[in-house]
Chains A and B, each alone.
Chain A
């Protein structure tokens, strides 16, 4: 028995469940207003809650009232349709509120320290009672770590994608593709722990007379592990979009496969590959956990990513968030605003580039 027959067995559309009359929009607004007033009187009158509870109970009353009124006017099926539509619209509104709050807080609290001192100095010699201090060392750290990570991840990722698209056949390629997808879900802290166990605790003592050493390079390795699956997947999709006849024309002229890939397929897919790389870089710039674990965090400027602790912008936000000084929240919020601005600019640029160069 299909759902449409549920109202009246044997007859699908009866005068009871589907009518031509439609509920006037003013009736709907009237129901909403009445629900709000009743809820307000109930809640505020008995003192059970505040205006938030009034809104919530008012919303529940509105849904019930809407269903009742619409059933009388339009029929049960139409009333149910209307109620679900309201629920879906409410879900949207519910989600917009916290996200708007995050944006508003960033903009209002983040402008406190937007001065040259913040971007030009580090936290070296800044005590708990000193109002100055800045994020220059953190910005340098982020730039260096992400640049080295990109230098490592992009060739590796693009070559891996080339294998999956051009050379891979059979179970091995399927396994590699499956695990690339699985790797996108590795938590960033696990990648940080891996580099801690591998690079910092085992490999770096070889270079450092037996003692393990934190470094910005270790953070770059962890970021490479995180960027790699994103780059492989997006490059693979872009390479698949290159038209087959383009490749076949080159093969027909006798161009070897590797030359076809390097000179014809890659340049054609290049805008899409750049998009994927930019998205991966945006993700890497915002990662805190790996830097916390293997770069150590540092309050002074360190230009050398291969030796010595280094900080990064995301780690700076986390450290300032945990700092008890009364000047720390301003620094934290301004750094957060800077970080979000960098990440959003990269992401928006990547998506606009993707939209413009879509082969469709």
Chain B
């Protein structure tokens, strides 16, 4: 607290000497009433210091509030700038943006629409979730309830590391290594189950929605697993022990006390995985067939997504083409914003419920 000037009447106070010297004479020294000048000590005067309007405290507080507000500014700015660059292209579009399937924004008469792109984005993400979520829940249950501790910790660590691997590596692997087995599988499916429209057709099989969805599922798996594992680990021990005490087998205990308790958390984890799958760019650009049509056929060459289209056609786009890509990116932003906001709302409500009940 500072450098308070010495008030001792003795001018030699504080000077180091050989002999021990009292700092002031008995009875003399500092007068009981401090002299009336502006330099009052902080603690001794009685009144708090005046709140400086432009001092460090206000400045720092303003700086951090501005930094916090930057987050909102950035999100609003994303929306504004995307809209501003998308509008000229949308105006130049000859066809209806929301229902057209083809994508020719660089022509003299631009015709483009996101019907096929949005369909492919949503379809590949949903199939990826259908494949990934049961497996992820199984792994999460294994890590939280079935595995011995010595195995659970390194395995959980490894799963977290896999979430950090860049998506371009998964795309490269999907295209170089995984495509051959998936093509063989598609041929087999087409041979024996071709009567189902999902697996019909005669075309070349390979770079299809199935390949893209499988690679996407592998990428979404670690996220859903680690979030679900946290949720399952937070089940109150009393609930689990009560179920076991009543004679339930281990699976019955999980079914009655772990899964219902963790349901909101699992739903939120799944929605976050969905958000990631919707926005995935490079893995789909390398594994989808980039054909602009709407079909539920999973195994023929084809399939396209908004993000993959942006990555693939950005290089040759003129200014209208760029505007068209920005418009499709705006749609993607809106979709992922809605999905993420819903997921976070579920988590927040759950946290309030749990904290208030605790």
Contact = CB atoms under 8 A, between A and B. Distances in A.
The yes or no verdict on A and B being binding partners is yes
Interface of A: 3-4, 12-13, 18, 48-49, 53, 77-78, 80-81, 84-85, 87-92, 94-95, 98-99, 101-102, 105-106, 109, 155-157, 159-160, 162-164, 166-168, 173, 175-176, 178-191, 193-194, 196-198, 201-202, 225, 228-229, 232, 253-254, 256-259, 261, 279, 282-283, 285-289, 292-293, 314, 317-318, 321-322, 329, 332-333, 336, 339-340, 343-344, 347-348, 351
Interface string B1-28: 1000000000000000000000000000
Q: Per DSSP, are chain B's interface residues mostly helix, strand or loop, or mixed? A: helix
Interface of B: 1, 42-43, 56-57, 59-61, 63-72, 74-75, 77-78, 81-82, 84-85, 134-139, 141-142, 146, 157, 160-162, 164-173, 175-178, 188, 192, 218, 221, 225, 246-252, 254-256, 272, 275-276, 278-282, 285-286, 307, 310-311, 314, 322, 325-326, 329, 332-333, 336-337, 339-341, 343-344, 347-348
B173 A91 contact: no
Nearest to A184: B340
Given A13-B247, A163-B65, A167-B64, A286 B172 contact: no
Contact of B336 (A190, A197, A225): A190
A154 to B, nearest CB: 11
B72 A167 contact: no
Contacts of A81: 249-252
B71 A176 contact: yes
A276 B168 CA distance: 23
Given A183-B74, A253-B1, A321-B286, A189 B168 contact: no
Contacts of B57: 256-258
Contacts of A168: 65, 68
Q: Per DSSP, are chain A's interface residues mostly helix, strand or loop, or mixed? A: helix
Nearest to A348: B161
Contact of B176 (A91, A95, A105, A196): A105
A100 B134 CA distance: 19
B71 A229 contact: yes
A89 to B, nearest CB: 7
Given A105-B173, A253-B1, A318-B168, A164 B68 contact: yes
B358 to A, nearest CB: 17
B244 to A, nearest CB: 12
A166 B333 contact: no
B70 A256 contact: no
A88 B141 contact: yes
B259 to A, nearest CB: 11
A181 to B, nearest CB: 5
B340 A182 contact: yes
A49 B188 contact: yes
25 contacts: A4-B247, A18-B247, A81-B250, A84-B254, A88-B141, A91-B135, A92-B139, A99-B218, A156-B67, A164-B68, A176-B68, A182-B75, A182-B344, A186-B337, A190-B78, A190-B279, A197-B85, A225-B78, A253-B1, A258-B57, A259-B56, A293-B310, A336-B168, A339-B169, A340-B165
Given A179-B75, A182-B341, A187-B336, A283 B81 contact: no
Contact of A185 (B43, B188, B225, B336): B336
A74 to B, nearest CB: 10
